[in-house]
Amino acid sequence: MAKQVKLVAACGAGVNSSHQIADAVTEEMKKRGHNVSCDAVMVKDVNEDLLSHYDAYLTIAKTDLAFTPKIPLIDASPILYRIPAMAQPVYDKVEEVVKKVEAE
């Protein structure tokens, strides 16, 4: 099996939106044949050290991080609307990143 790709999603409390996105992305990437894990954290805990352990950051809201992340940022908020046409482009963008990491 391919290398596991590690993603992280963050929301205010690290409980609701981030978990919905983490679960949805993990499930969709599994359907597409990728080995992905996605953690959900509180946005206040997002810093350079935390992101250094991940391959991409799934954002929910525009947040001033006060640093420039070295990993791709993907706006995953459309997934929360549960409208397949809105979520599909997000999944496709995540898959692009996943494929790049798997190829490394």
The total number of structural domains in the chain stands at 1
* CATH number of the domain to which 90 belongs: 3.40.50.2300
> Can you give the pLDDT at residue 100?
95
List pLDDT tens digits, range 62-103. 888 889 999 999 999 999 988 889 999 999 999 999 999 999
| pTM over cut 0.75 | yes
The encoded tokens of residue 76 equal 């995953």
Core vs surface per residue 22-46: b (16+ CB within 10 A) or e = bebbbebbeeeebebebbbbebeeb
Residue 92: which domain range?
A: 5-103
